[in-house]
């Protein structure tokens, strides 16, 4: 004898398992596309390749080449001789609102 509560729990468990498996498979496909991304070199042929692509956009590519820092290259504190640059720095401040019910910002 199975109670309606047990059937409800079983059904919701199966539904959540199916949902999470669907999301997992969707993200796994994206990861596979990223791992199989073509490696392109930054040279004079790159703008022509981008303009020839569909909607002038390449979905996933790995660009290889030499970049020059705007001011000075960043040096690693942990590995000697390792340098890097920052492509883009974005600072976003979230507005704080006082929640009188929880008495917190």
**Helices and strands (H and E) in the chain: how many:** 2, 4
The residue assigned the tokens 């006082």 is 98
Q: Find the mean pLDDT for residues 91-103.
A: 75
The radius of gyration of the chain from alpha carbons, rounded to an integer in Å, stands at 25
pLDDT-based confidence at residue 18 (cuts at 50, 70, 90): very high
Q: Which residues pair with 39 in a beta bridge?
A: 62
Burial group, residue 69, by CB count within 10 angstroms (0-12, 13-18, 19+): exposed
pLDDT at residue 31, as a whole number: 92
> Measured between alpha carbons, how far is 98 from 105 in angstroms, rounded to an integer?
4
- 99 three-state secondary structure: strand
pTM of the model: 0.48
């Amino acid at each position: 004898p199975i109670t309606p509560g047990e059937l409800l729990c079983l059904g919701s468990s199966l539904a959540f398992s199916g949902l999470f498996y669907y999301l997992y498979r969707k993200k796994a496909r994206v990861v596979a596309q990223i791992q199989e991304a073509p490696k392109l070199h930054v040279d004079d042929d790159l703008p022509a390749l981008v303009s020839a692509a569909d909607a002038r956009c390449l979905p996933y590519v790995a660009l290889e080449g030499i970049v020059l820092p705007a001011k000075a290259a960043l040096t690693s504190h942990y590995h000697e001789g390792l340098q890097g640059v920052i492509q883009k720095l974005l600072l976003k401040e979230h507005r704080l609102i006082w929640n009188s019910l929880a008495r917190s910002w």
